[in-house]
Amino acid sequence: MRYPVVRVFAELTDLLWAEGRRGAAEALERFWNKLAESQSFSLLCACPLDSLDGRAYEGALQSLCALHTHLVPAADCNAFNEAIGGAIREVLEPQLVGMLHSLSAQHRPATQMPIGQAAILWLRQHMPRTAEKVLARARARM
């Protein structure tokens, strides 16, 4: 009997990442992506990054985004977006909030992700001190 959808959970990538072997983890992800070009399956990865920790944005998150189609930063994306949105409104002037959302939407990676994650990625790249303030306030809200 053929199954219409095969789902693969790749635990090895996380183990390599946790050991600090990021190059090997990224190579494994590229292998899975190449295999997906010829085989039909859904690949589910779980890398325990704290999306509210500024250190996660020091290359790690961008590397993961380049290798994945979707990014889910928290178990409850709505709560994550609300925490980030509230923190942004606390830190930025009202006219800058709309500008931030516009800029982050225009410059978001190809990876599908919640709007709050895209805003943090943009802030981290262009206004790192503001990003840290937003992350600190968002952590207090979660």
What is residue 9's three-state secondary structure?
A: strand
Provide the whole-model pTM. Answer: 0.74
Domains of the chain by residue range: 1-48, 54-142
Phi-psi region of 108 (alpha: psi -120 to 50; beta: other; left: phi over 0): beta
Contact predicate 123/131, CB 8 Å = yes
For residues 138 and 52, the answer to whether their CB atoms sit within 8 Å is yes
Q: What is the pLDDT along the chain (142 residues), one digit of tens a residue?
A: 455 578 888 788 888 877 888 889 889 888 988 998 888 888 877 777 778 888 777 776 777 777 778 877 767 888 989 999 999 999 999 999 999 989 988 888 888 888 888 899 899 989 999 999 999 999 999 8
Its sign, for the CA torsion 134, 86, 56, 122, is negative
